[in-house]
Structure 1
Amino acid sequence: GVDGKHPDIAPNFNRELSRNFVTDKPKDEAGETLDGPCEVSSCKDPVDEDDDGHGTHVASTIAAPINGIGIAGVAPGVQIVNIRAGQDSGFFFLKPSLDALTYAGDIGVDVVNMSYYVDPWLFNCTNNKADSRKDQLEQAGIITGMQRALDYARQRGVTLISALGNGSTDLGHPKVDKESPGYPVGEKKDRQVDNSCVNVPAESAGVISVAGLGPSGRKAIYSDYGVEQADVSAPGGDALDGKGAKATRSILGAAPEHVLRAAGRIDAKGEPKGADVVKDCKGGTCAYYQYLDGTSMAAPHATGVAAILISRFGKPGKGGLELAPATVEDLLYKTATPKACPVPREYVYKAYGQDITQVCEGDEADNGFFGHGVVDAWKAATVEP
């Protein structure tokens, strides 16, 4: 969801076009807590509510206005439309995702940010011997169904941007999936996977997938990568990019006050309890911001740059401006700053008490860590047509 009442969201929030395609489920089929108690009698949250904070952070990175409080988004003059597909618990299931994408196509949304993967499978395999036939068919349905919805939206002018993922995994050479199925809770199992298995929507056709960078410009420790999968890269934050760990190396974005209170990140007087939360006040109005990192934070940077390109080069059309997604993609790549693989290509990160080895494949023009390059808002705003 998106907190449409947040002072750094509200000026650009389009409540009329926003839709929630999710009905909260207090408990799962086994009676275990899933979304928790419904906040409204219909169990369908209003379009301007966010019970987690993730979507509000993402939305502010794209389009927080320049209004003297908090932060400014990459494209501070564009509209935010909340098309919600995620449960309060963080699960993104197939049906709401299909509904959200088709709705985006129908109303003429210019660019969609997908900072998630479709549950319950991190990797979707159609013929994995470790899975039952039922599970294989479910995964095939996710691959096919999402591709149809993505195609539907793209054919109607929607540029599709996705987070690449936070598993520190070479998506071109995946080996083990320890996260699936993530639902029902308690069903996870370790299973062998290979490159025939795909993360959806990051590896779906027609989607621009974004790897995350730390503040030094290196590929973030957590970010997935892959020469076939990483299309561009953008700041995602990395608390470990430097000596020790610091929250302020992550990405600062808007946060709903009630979420921070529930998580114990602000005290009874509304003051932050740690460096990961920032309070900013202007003219008697106070707003909260939180440092987070992930490819979920990288994708909206690219989405904001895409919005700048559409604002500059789009032609009047349904609901506003139109620019063919293929053209947006081409301009996004052309305005990105190429970044070569590190030397040596085998890069060793020391984190979480272990050495994590990742290998960058490809050349400066297109490689597994940085894709076609680091997105560049300035170039997007100034490049000649």
Structure 2
Amino acid sequence: MHARGRLAGAIMSITLLGGLGAAGLPGAATASEPAQNYLVFYKDGGRDAAQRAAEAAGATIQARDDKLGYLVVRASDPERIGADPSVVGVTLDRPIGKTADAPVAPRAKRAEPAAKRVRSAQGADPLSDRQWDMKMIGATPTGSYAKARGSHKVLVGVIDTGIDGNHPDIAPNFNRALSRNFVIDQPDDENGKPLDGPCEHAGCKDPADVDDDGHGTHVASTIGSPINGIGVSGVAPDVSLVNLRAGTDSGFFFLKPTMDALEYAADVGVDVVNMSFYVDPWTFNCANNPSDTNRESLEQRAILEGMRRAITYAHTRGVTLVSAIGNESLDLGKVKTDTSSPDFPKGSEKKRVIDNTCLNVPAELDGVISVSSVGPSGRKAPYSDYGVEQTDIAAPGGDLFDAGTDLKGASREILAAAPEHVLRARGLLFADGKPKTPSVVRDCQGGKCAYYQYLEGTSMAAPHVTGVAALIIGRFGKPGTGGLQMDPAQVERLLYATATPKGCPTPRTYRYSTGESQVCEGPTAKNGFFGHGLVNAARAATVTS
């Protein structure tokens, strides 16, 4: 499931997937409603008309983004602005969505990773025997590692809660120069209750090498932990990892920081982006739902339009986009009700009737490769969302209930890097650094210790696909702005062509040990559980274009 409806991947106490909001529940405007900042999306050619409509409603223009077609206005009556025919949608610009902490250079130079790369003689790392996921997709010394490991020229963006750029199993591949943080921590919510926690840095803005949650570090590690004689190895162990932080410490991913991250990725030449989240506060965004107020409909239309524009902007500039499909055990093509939205502010959730026109974003948007999750036996994980229209490809994401394979003591979840300070804050380490739980693993080599954590979810599945996409780009991409250049459509074609075909179970109604049943539809070539099949790094490392 989504952690509290945000992180599309990790099944844990926190959730990641969304955006942070300002004070005030969605609803009708009141005479005493204070002015707040809103994003106003206008139709093509409608910028001037939208600006006039905003000013007529008493709003002041704060900023604009001509690339994605929206204004930032300060207003107290967003519905009046939204009623103008030039306006597509209006949503709050929540206070954590800020601009990048450095200007974007039109043709940014690629920066070399900070630390020296080290290849171990055996071609795998000390904890590789616990990485059943890598064995499943052929990311091993006798598989893809022998043929393709990616390249430092391949820029892999991770839109998440951040990356611990100082982790020993991240640092050699961490691109500090291009990494950015697009959010500002908010210690308390609008009711004065703890949200992100105390500010650790000036201005409440974490440096671009910090992850106070752990989700983004885990994702980055699965993609590109180097083969360096410590811990684990990633799918593409020689790539450059770029932190594009759009998630808050509390796990929300709101619209503006997410759009900022995608726009920045496109402008600096990032090659492939991993998105293991959904955009808050709506699990499903409906353009015209009778169950919603006018204000709520305007907000959801803005999220749909804003994300479509950001995805299109990145995709047309050569960014391959990979997303976790979600963890609610739902057939996304047949969802009838939504009880988890809006998830911010806390307590504003309501039950509403929805249909297939209501979309989970970014997973259900055109141009995005949506990834379902499998366990060690290869069955679809029970938590993973699915759907014959929505599932593009499958990858290992973990399944604690999957008893079909002997892992010789390793967990049925995915092992990847974790920030030590996060583990300590959660009480998972003793004072001397030893783990208190088998879910945390410490590896010490040459006087240096690093930490790893087992997690499961579609958030853990997506980075396997992102890593294989990076291998493909490393082999066939051409020099371009920032990283390499390869048409995302070609990357997608090769991902599917090299996937291991995997048909629906027999019978198609699969019953899990919990008693839950899910129905798989579609042929082996493209079905609701596995899409085009199970991603395969070994085949991607040898395929001819």
**TM-score normalised over the length of structure 2:** 0.69
Aligned AA for 1:59?
Answer: A
Aligned position for 2:448:
285
Match of 2:221 among 44, 55, 60: 60
In the alignment, structure 1 residue 161 sits paired with structure 2 residue 326? no
What is residue 360 of structure 1 aligned with on the other side? 520
Q: Which deviates more, 175-184 or 374-383?
A: 175-184
Contact kept? 1:212, 1:219, Cα under 8 Å: yes
Q: CA deviation at 1:350?
A: 2.4
Query: Which residue of 2 is the match for residue 371 of structure 1?
Result: 531
How far apart, in 1, do the equivalents of 2:437 and 2:349 lie? 33
Q: Hey, what's the Cα distance between the residues in 1 that align with 2:413 and 2:336?
A: 29
**Paired residues of 2:377 and 2:404 also in contact (CA < 8 A):** no
Does structure 2 conserve the Cα–Cα contact (< 8 Å) formed by 1:247 and 1:291? no
Structure 1 contact 21–85 (Cα < 8 Å) conserved? yes
C-alpha distance in structure 2 between counterparts of 1:58 and 1:113, whole Å: 8
Provide the C-alpha distance between the structure 1 equivalents of 2:355 and 2:176, rounded to a whole number of angstroms: 42
d(CA) in 2 for partners of 1:275, 1:26: 31
Pick the aligned partner of 2:417 from 254, 257, 266: 254
Deviations 1:287-324 (A, max 9, x none): 00000000000000000000000000101111231110
Distance 1:359 1:293 in 2: 22
1:106 aligns with 2:234: no
Q: How does 1:291-310 map to 2 (within 5 A)?
A: 291-310=454-473
2:174 matched residue in structure 1: 13
Q: Secondary structure at the match of 2:175?
A: coil
User: Which residue does the alignment assign to 2:212?
Assistant: 51
CA contact (8 A) 2:227 2:233 kept: yes
Deviation at 1:27, TM superposition (A): 1.4
Q: 1:23 corresponds to which letter in structure 2?
A: I
| CA distances 1:34-74 after superposition (whole Å, capped 9, x unpaired) | 11111112111000000000000000000000001110000
In the alignment, is the contact (CA less than 8 A) between 2:208 and 2:243 conserved in 1? yes
The correspondence of residues 84-233 of structure 1 with structure 2, limited to 5 A, is 84-233=245-394
Alignment correspondent of 1:267: 430
Q: Per-residue deviation at 1:243? A: 7.8
User: Counterparts of 1:219 and 1:330 in 2: how far apart (Å)?
Assistant: 23
Residues 239, 247 of structure 1: 8 Å contact kept: no
Cα distance in 1 for residues equivalent to 2:215 and 2:509: 32
CA-to-partner distance for each residue in 1:12-48, whole Å, 9 max, x for gaps?
Answer: 0000000000011111222222111111121110000
Contact 2:376 2:404 in 1 (8 A): no
Secondary structure of residue in 2 paired with 1:179: strand
Three-state SS of the structure 1 residue aligned to 2:302 is: helix
Identity between Structure 1 and Structure 2 (%): 67
SS at match of 1:82: strand
Q: How does 1:318-337 map to 2 (within 5 A)?
A: 318-337=481-500
Larger Rg: 2
Q: Which amino acid aligns with 1:216?
A: S
Q: Please list every run of 5 or more consecutive structure 2 residues that lacks an aligned counterpart in the other structure.
A: 1-161
Q: What amino acid is the match of 1:61?
A: T
Match of 1:363, SS?
Answer: coil
Give the aligned partner of residue 380 of structure 1. Answer: 540
Q: CA RMSD in A?
A: 1.4
* TM-score computed with the length of structure 1 as normaliser: 0.97
In 2, are the aligned partners of 1:151 and 1:206 still within 8 Å (CA)? yes
Which piece of structure 1 moves more, 113-122 or 181-190? 181-190
Contact 1:247-1:276 within 8 A present in 2 as well:
no
Q: Following the alignment from structure 2 to structure 1, what is the Cα–Cα distance between the partners of residues 248 and 427?
A: 22
Q: Deviations over 1:76-132 (max 9, x none)?
A: 000000001001100000000010000000000000000000000000011222211
Are the equivalent residues in 2 in contact too, given 1:168–1:222 (CA < 8 A)?
Answer: yes
64-73 vs 170-179, greater mean Cα deviation: 170-179
Q: Partners of 1:247 and 1:96 in 2: how far apart?
A: 37
Give the match's secondary structure for 1:223. Answer: coil
SS at 1:304's partner residue? helix
Return structure 1 stretches of 4+ with deviation > 4 angstroms: none
**Kept in 2: contact 1:227–1:362 (CA 8 A):** yes
| Secondary structure of the structure 2 residue equivalent to 1:142 | helix
Q: 1:73 aligns with which of 223, 229, 234?
A: 234
Deviations 1:191-242 (A, max 9, x none): 2221110000000110000000001100001000000000000000011111
Note the residue ranges of structure 1 that are not aligned, 5 or more in a row.
none
Aligned to 1:276: 439
SS at match of 1:70: coil
Change (3 A) 1:247 1:123: farther
